[in-house]
Every structure is written in structure tokens, then in C-alpha cells.
Amino acid sequence: MTAEKSSDAQAADDEPEFNVADLDLGFAEEVAAKPGGEYIRRCYSCGMCVAGCPVAEVEPRYSPRRLIRMILLGLRAEVLQSDFLWLCCNCYTCMERCPQAIRIPDIIRAAKNIAAAEGRLPANLKTVSASVTKIGRLYEIEEFDNKKRVKAGLPELQTKLEDVERLMRK
């Protein structure tokens, strides 16, 4: 088999299965309306994005091309409820190589934002987000950390960033 054929076969495997009754035809528009989502309809399924994706390389459940197809087809519930949606590590490799200049990670992020607004943010990311919005940092800086910093010759940092909580409170 030629290399080209095998990549075609792979692309066919990558096609999502769907039930016409489940399609939400407004989903692509919803995603396209978010920043970076506007070029989604240009995708012609070439698979360049999958070829360079570090996550697709190690995790068969994940394919940016399939995600884009699913959004275009209107598989709203499947995309928003999936766990693989959260596996994009935002490395931009696909975006640099997409022949259609589609901002793939921005599109995936738009879908993540929609899922999060519907209460589907994964638990660990909820913890991250609570910490960052409440204390202004991923990890708290306590007196103890400042002591260690000073001992190492580093300046002390603010232990409390109260105005961040005020700013981020919705």
C-alpha cells in the first residue's frame, strides 16, 4: 500500500459517525461567532492538522480534524460532552500548518468555552480556575514561601492579591 493510500484510510477512520436526527445545524455558526472561529467552514479535511498533532500521536481518541468535522456537522452534544475536547494542549502546531489558515486551537477553545458555560468544565480545571480567580495565582504564596525566597536572595512577593478577586468576581 502506498503511503498516500494509508493516510486516506486513516482519514476515513477519522470520520465521525452520526445520526441525522441529532444534528444541531446552528453549532458551526455558534463556534464561528467566537474569536478565531470565523474560518472553520474553509476546512477541506486534508488531515495536515492531525499529522503534526502531538496529542493525536499518542492518543487515538483525539483528532483535531475529526473535532472540526463534528462541529461542522452539528454534532453539538457529542462535542460538548466528550472528554477528548479537553485534550488539545494548545501547541499551535496545526494552526501553523493548516493550508486553509484555520485557527484550529481557537476553534477548539471556543467549543471548550461553550461547554464550560454549560457547566462542563472538567473538575481539575475548575480547581485551577477557582484558585486563579480567588487568590490571583495557581499556587498560594505564603509567608513560608517568602522566607524561602528571601533566603535564596529573591524578593518577597505579595501574599494576597485581593484586588484580583474583586476584578474577576462575575
Q: How far is CA 25 from the centre of its chain?
A: 21
* DSSP 8-state class, residue 161: -
* Binding partner of residue 158 among ligand SF4, another protein, none, CB cut-off 5 to 8 Å per kind: another protein
Closer CB to another protein, 69 or 97, in the complex: 97
Number of residues in the chain: 170
* Binding partner of residue 104 among another protein, ligand SF4, none, CB cut-off 5 to 8 Å per kind: ligand SF4
12 binds ligand SF4 (CB under 6 A): no
CB of 126 to ligand SF4, least distance (A): 21
154 binds ligand SF4 (CB under 6 A): no
* Contact stretch for ligand SF4 (CB under 6 A) within 28-36, 64-72, 122-130, 149-157: 64-72
Distances (CA, A) of 79 to 16, 64, 67, 70, 158: 11, 12, 7, 7, 41
44 binds ligand SF4 (CB under 6 A): yes
Q: What's 48-79 look like in SS3?
A: HHHHCCHHHHHCCCCCHHHHHHHHHHCCHHHH
